[in-house]
Amino acid sequence: MNPTLDAAALCADYWSTSIIDIHPGSINVRGYPIQALIGHVSFPQMIWLMLRGELPTDAQARLLEAALVASVDHGPHAPSIAISRIATSCGLPLNGAMASAINALDDVHGGAGQQAVELYQDIAQRLADSTAEVPDLADAVAEGIAAFNEAHGKYLPGFGHRFHPVDPRATRLLAIVDDAVAQGVIDGHYAAIARGIEAHLKARKQKPVPMNIDGITAVIYAELGFAPELARGVFVLSRAVGILSHAWEQRGRGERNKGPLPRQLPYRYTGHPERELP
């Protein structure tokens, strides 16, 4: 075998990809020439194409877009947003501030959407595995929640909110989901599961515990067939817009080394009083 050709084949396989094909004067994304996509597909459609390999229908793209729009920002008290502002005031450029903030979107701050999709999928699998002639949603929900709590603790992702009694984003998105079900865009299976969780929590806690933004966007991502990890990844794409906006606003203020609290507000020291070295 020709060593040159053998090395070329090895290199070609090393970073092989089905996403993009680039040659001098030619860029094809998932088989589509980039010039055919530019001006003809929306950014949500492009996200779908990149992640899933095919273009969504217009109705699917609108549903994905609604979830993206709803998740862009939640104020400067959100840790990722605060980090972007602090990092900017410390002199980081926009890309550094964005990277610092996005890196905080892990399991605790940013992972609830992925976790909610995993919970919904577990409940869906319990319904599919049921031997009953008509599987009982309430039983599957109770079993799924119990299993999740045993594995992860009492926190249940996607329901309740420490700031909003009713999350206005969830209310609007749920109405859009219901319209999509009525139009046959999605089948509503995961929306029914999420509502079943709401009913279970209301009965258990004797008060409403409605879906929050993570719970309803998880419904959308699950209904649209996105894997749980991609639910978090797509959320990061959305929240990156808010992170960029706040970093840019902070950049224009000219403040330096802005900490988490105003200097006028002291923190509480809980260590030893001042003492002498023996």
Domain ranges, ordered by start, for the chain: 22-55, 111-232
Residue with tokens 């984003």: 169
Q: Which of 122, 133, 130, 114 is CA-nearest to residue 196?
A: 122
DSSP-derived letter for residue 36 is H
- Which pLDDT score, from 0 to 100, does residue 11 have? 85
Asked if 160 and 210 count as a contact pair (C-beta separation under 8 A), the reply is: yes
- Which pLDDT score, from 0 to 100, does residue 4 have? 66
CA–CA gap between residue 218 and residue 185 (Å, rounded)? 16
Q: Which of 243, 245, 208, 226 is CA-nearest to residue 113?
A: 226
Give the neighbor-by-neighbor strand order of the sheet with 26-29.
Answer: 20-23, 26-29, 32-33
Instruction: With 0.95 as the threshold, say if the pTM is over it.
Output: no
Q: Which residues pair with 23 in a beta bridge?
A: 26
- Which pLDDT score, from 0 to 100, does residue 172 have? 97
- Structure tokens that stand for 128 in this block: 């599919």
Q: Using one digit for the tens of pLDDT, what is the confidence trace for 198-232?
A: 999 999 989 999 999 999 999 999 999 999 999 99
Residue with tokens 């959308």: 220
Show the low-confidence residues of the chain (pLDDT under 50).
none
- Structure tokens that stand for 219 in this block: 């419904």
Residue with tokens 């005031």: 89
- Structure tokens that stand for 210 in this block: 């409605």
CATH of 111-232, one of 3.40.50.10240, 1.10.230.10, 3.40.1360.10, 2.40.10.10: 1.10.230.10
- Which pLDDT score, from 0 to 100, does residue 1 have? 56
CA–CA gap between residue 74 and residue 22 (Å, rounded)? 38
- Structure tokens that stand for 250 in this block: 């902070």
- Which pLDDT score, from 0 to 100, does residue 5 have? 64
- The residues, ordered by sequence, that sit 6+ positions from 199 with a Cβ below 8 Å of its Cβ are 138, 141
pLDDT, mean over the chain: 94
Asked if 212 and 71 count as a contact pair (C-beta separation under 8 A), the reply is: no
- The backbone torsions φ and ψ at residue 211, rounded to the nearest 5 degrees and listed phi first, read -60, 145
What is the three-class DSSP state of 221? helix
